[in-house]
């Protein structure tokens, strides 16, 4: 992480990200979802929210989820500490919420049924705010119906077998 110099011109950066999202849209299934994690970007002493390029892409913004990371180190002294990141639930087409998978989502603990998720970063690596595995698991389960996954059988069995463990772990992370 420390070896990458994030100093790309903001216009180039936004175009690069928009192109990336459009390529994902091209290969996404018609009813597919993408959970895209991106925080506001600091460039030339200004704040650039990712919505600027997300709304220019071909993907549809279904919902914005806030990841409240809790305490994190301040990388940019002189600014308030950025303790949140955004997770954008993007879809290929405008979807009807009634057609969305509900089996696993309805089993999530109450604290993950709102649009603000309070989960501490995984501190086991050198990134200042490492993305916790629990966040990815919630996103997968929120868009998966029992028996309707496109995962291979081994992966689906693993998810089904770990659901009870996951729900217990998620319940333990509820801080609301």
Domains of the chain: 10-173 (3.40.50.150)
Q: H helices of 68-125, where?
A: none
Q: Mean pLDDT in runs of 10 for the chain (176 residues)?
A: 68 94 90 87 86 94 89 68 87 69 67 83 70 82 67 53 50 53
Q: Find where tokens 């809790």 sit.
A: 70
**Residue 121 and residue 64: Cα distance in Å, rounded?**
19
Q: Which residues pair with 61 in a beta bridge?
A: 90
Q: Give 36's Cβ-side CA count (13 Å radius).
A: 27
In sequence order, which ranges of the chain are alpha helices (DSSP H)? 10-27, 51-54, 133-142, 153-173
Q: How far apart are CA 21 and CA 57, in angstroms?
A: 6
pTM beyond 0.95: no
pLDDT at 120: 79
């Amino acid at each position: 992480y420390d070896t990458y110099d994030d100093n790309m011109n903001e216009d180039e950066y936004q175009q690069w990200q928009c192109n990336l999202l459009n390529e994902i849209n091209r290969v996404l299934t018609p009813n597919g979802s993408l959970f895209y994690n991106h925080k506001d970007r600091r460039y030339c002493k200004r704040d650039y929210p990712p919505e600027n390029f997300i709304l220019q892409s071909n993907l549809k913004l279904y919902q914005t989820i806030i990841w409240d990371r809790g305490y994190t180190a301040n990388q940019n002294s002189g600014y308030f500490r950025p303790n949140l990141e955004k997770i954008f639930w993007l879809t290929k087409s405008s979807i009807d919420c009634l057609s969305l998978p509900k089996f696993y989502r309805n089993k999530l603990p109450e604290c993950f049924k709102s649009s603000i998720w309070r989960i501490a970063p995984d501190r086991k690596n050198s990134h200042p705010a490492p993305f916790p595995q629990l966040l990815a698991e919630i996103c997968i389960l929120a868009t998966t119906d029992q028996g309707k996954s496109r995962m291979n059988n081994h992966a689906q069995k693993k998810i089904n077998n770990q659901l009870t463990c996951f729900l217990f772990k998620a319940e333990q992370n509820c801080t609301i």
